[in-house]
């Protein structure tokens, strides 16, 4: 029995129809038609042990279902099972001959989407180009959820325990946020030339805005940044002052 998730069995000689549509399970239409595999179900018994690969059989074309107690093997290269009993029971043979034999598997399948988040820590309203930093953490943060299509979804069964679900979205965001805030790289380097000599400016002075200023450095719009004078040059020949100002993100404690 195969799910035909990759469409390998759609044409002759199998003629199994269209590839299986995971959109209801994954809750998105964006996935690749490719071979996958079954993993143990997230649903657990009252002792916390997974229900494993919960296979059901129907002898009347899907009108009624019951757990299949015969031996079977789970394929590792596609969503498929192999009935491995030495001898099939009479009900299975009769249903197969009538074309009424169906199987239903409750297990886990890995989707194509991955847990992700975006944290913006760059200059705001600046002409400086935005630089993306991509951090890959393939095994640290996880997302697992029992589908609403599962036979165990919202089941009130005293024999069932808490499913092995996980949602590390908040932890991932805090990780990315902390990593961005720990980065002390300079956001902008700004060069300013005044029309007269200004001997009072010193290296290390912070740049502030008065209520009447035009907020050239955008500090009122971005209160997470700070601008500091890094270099002062007095040009007595031209009677002007050249300032080099850097803007960087303030650390949050």
Quote the pTM value: 0.68
Tokens of 34: 């490719």
| SS3 call for 131 | coil
Smallest CA-to-CA distance from 15 within 25, 24, 6, 7 is with 7
The residues facing 144 across adjacent strands are 166
The residues facing 116 across adjacent strands are none
- The pLDDT of residue 252: 45
What's the pLDDT tens digit per position in 212-223?
777 666 666 666
Distance CA 173, CA 118 (A): 8
Does the structure show a pLDDT above 90 at 157?
Answer: no
All residues at 6 or more sequence positions from 70 whose CB lies less than 8 Å from its CB, including other chains: 83, 85, 88, 89, 92
pLDDT averaged over every residue in the chain? 87
- The pLDDT of residue 184: 55
The residues facing 225 across adjacent strands are 249
- The pLDDT of residue 253: 37
Distance CA 103, CA 246 (A): 66
Residue with tokens 């035009």: 214
What's the pLDDT tens digit per position in 206-253?
887 776 777 666 666 666 678 888 899 999 989 999 999 888 766 543
Does the structure show a pLDDT above 90 at 107?
Answer: yes
Task: Give the CB-side neighbour count of residue 250, counting CA atoms within 13 A.
Answer: 11
Run of H or E residues at 26: helix 23-26
β-strand pairing of 225-235 with 240-249 = antiparallel
**Mean pLDDT to the nearest integer, 59-81:** 95
Q: Please state which of the ranges 33-37, 69-73, 134-138 shows the lowest mean pLDDT.
A: 134-138
């Amino acid at each position: 029995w195969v799910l035909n998730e990759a469409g390998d069995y759609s044409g002759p000689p199998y003629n199994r129809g269209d590839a299986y549509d995971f959109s209801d399970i994954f809750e998105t239409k964006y996935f690749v038609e490719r071979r996958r595999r079954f993993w143990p179900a997230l649903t657990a018994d009252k002792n916390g042990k997974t229900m494993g690969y919960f296979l059901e059989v129907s002898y009347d074309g899907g009108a009624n279902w019951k757990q299949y107690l015969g031996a079977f093997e789970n394929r590792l290269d596609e969503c498929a099972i192999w009935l491995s009993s030495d001898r099939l029971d009479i009900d299975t043979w009769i249903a197969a001959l009538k074309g009424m034999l169906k199987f239903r598997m409750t297990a886990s399948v890995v989707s194509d989407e991955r847990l992700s988040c975006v944290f913006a820590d760059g200059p705001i309203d600046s002409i400086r180009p935005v630089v993306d930093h991509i951090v890959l953490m393939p095994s640290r943060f996880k997302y697992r959820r029992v589908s609403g299509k599962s036979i165990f979804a919202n089941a009130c069964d005293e024999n069932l325990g808490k499913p092995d679900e996980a949602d590390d979205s908040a932890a991932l965001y805090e990780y990315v946020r902390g990593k961005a805030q720990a980065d002390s790289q300079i956001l902008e380097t700004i060069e300013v030339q005044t029309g007269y000599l200004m001997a009072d400016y010193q290296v290390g002075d912070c740049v502030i805005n008065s209520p009447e200023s035009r907020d050239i450095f955008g500090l009122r719009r971005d209160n997470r940044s700070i601008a500091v004078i890094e270099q002062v040059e007095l040009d007595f020949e031209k009677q002007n002052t050249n300032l080099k100002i850097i803007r960087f993100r303030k650390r949050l404690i």
